[in-house]
Chain A
Amino acid sequence: DTGVSQDPRHKITKRGQNVTFRCDPISEHNRLYWYRQTLGQGPEFLTYFQNEAQLEKSRLLSDRFSAERPKGSFSTLEIQRTEQGDSAMYLCASSPPGQEQETQYFGPGTRLLVL
């Protein structure tokens, strides 16, 4: 078990460009979460998948953000028309099937810088 992986680890882009991040959860984990973390803050919940179904989206997830998990395995988070305020660390986490509050296992994150 190699843990949650995220790609890329770092991304620098210009304002207005689109970016896509990938998250590979721990195998057999059916729950997947995306968070955003800005400097000096804790992670903020963005969205949650159970298998391929996106069950909840935060109001933080504006229309420029979209997340998918088409086959219930890896997930992608796309940001369209990036803005400087999108600069943050984007964290992915996964948890196994089971009780409501299973431990979430976090990936190393993708750090986005929008110039």
Chain B
Amino acid sequence: AQSVTQLGSHVSVSEGALVLLRCNYSSSVPPYLFWYVQYPNQGLQLLLKYTTGATLVKGINGFEAEFKKSETSFHLTKPSAHMSDAAEYFCAVGGGFKTIFGAGTRLFVKA
């Protein structure tokens, strides 16, 4: 069985500050891990994904995430927040055809 826990339903940062969104997963098989972003009234857009290989994954819009097997974590970071980053972020774990999503973290960016 697979599951995802996103720590913090809301995160607030100032523009220009570091963004850190936390995700821990559980998987009985080597996981595929994803981060998606969702803007209001829109579908989900893939930010980045980890399948195999390099554990530091770079995505779109300056985001990156690091797969840490020992910590079962896949935290999302961005060095400098922009107002346009304000959205809902979902961590997900996949294996086979099924993808399990976390409950999401809403990111607020203050001017």
Contact = CB atoms under 8 A, between A and B. Distances in A.
B97 A43 contact: no
A101 B51 contact: yes
Contacts of A56: 97-98
A85 interface: no
B70 interface: no
Interface in B7-61: 9, 32, 36, 41-46, 49, 51
A41 B43 contact: no
A39 B95 CA distance: 25
B107 interface: no
B28 to A, nearest CB: 15
A34 interface: no
A109 B42 CA distance: 7
A106 B98 contact: no
B90 A108 contact: no
A43 B90 contact: yes
B41 A42 contact: no
Nearest to A9: B41
Contact of A40 (B9, B96, B100, B101): B9
A108 B43 contact: yes
A103 B99 CA distance: 10
B96 A100 contact: yes
A104 interface: yes
Contacts of A42: 4, 90, 92, 101-104
A50 to B, nearest CB: 8
14 contacts: A4-B43, A31-B97, A42-B102, A42-B104, A45-B98, A45-B99, A45-B100, A56-B97, A91-B43, A100-B32, A100-B96, A103-B46, A108-B42, A108-B43
Interface of B: 4, 9, 32, 36, 41-46, 49, 51, 90, 92, 94-104
